[in-house]
Amino acid sequence: MVGINGTAGVDDRLMSTASVGTQIVAHYTDINALTYFHWWKDGEQRTMFEYPATRSGTTPDALVEAMHRVGIDTVNGTFSVTANLALAEEVTGIRITEDLLDNAVYTSSLIELPSEDWNSVVIDITDAHGERTHRELTREQAEHAWNQARAKDNQPIPLDAIARDEPGAS
């Protein structure tokens, strides 16, 4: 799973369902440069760590040998983004390369949001050409866009149209 500045791959509520019958590896770096590695398999978060010496999940030590093979120090906690991506390759057999990311055919989908309260969503994407798109949408704008997409046979709705079409949007 490749997610650009998204948290779906590290959300317990979503991944516990999405990983049933398969496995998902998510490497996530947040705005504060905190880096997380998550391995989901058959509905369980098997291994998760921010710092490799402090792992959690239903099988926190299952990847220790693989971590050592790719240069992750599980005692002192030294690691790198490159090592985390190498670990993802060890687990899945899929090598993440610049060419793969630039030329892959991506499948995207709408994810039903959890029923818990939320007020807004931030979309912040930089494409392969360095062009950045950053929008914050209110819950009302997002729901309006989803309803619009469903009414148009799930066709994508441009971000600029969401704010423009939403009653009361600025």
How do residues 83-139 score in pLDDT, each as one tens digit?
888 999 999 988 888 788 788 777 666 666 555 677 777 766 666 666 677 777 777
Listed residue (53, 57, 63, 23) closest to 40, CA to CA: 23
Helix (DSSP H) and strand (DSSP E) numbers for the chain: 6, 6
- Cβ atoms of residues 60 and 54 within 8 Å: no
pLDDT at site 168: 40
Given a cut of 90, whether residue 20 has pLDDT beyond it is no
Average pLDDT, integer, range 18-24: 85
Listed residue (64, 82, 101, 99) closest to 27, CA to CA: 82
Q: What is the mean pLDDT of the chain?
A: 77
Greater confidence (123 vs 23) lies with: 23
How do residues 149-168 score in pLDDT, each as one tens digit?
666 665 555 656 655 544 44
Given a cut of 80, whether residue 147 has pLDDT beyond it is no
Give me the residue spans of the domains in the chain.
Answer: 8-103, 120-165
State pTM to two decimals.
Answer: 0.60
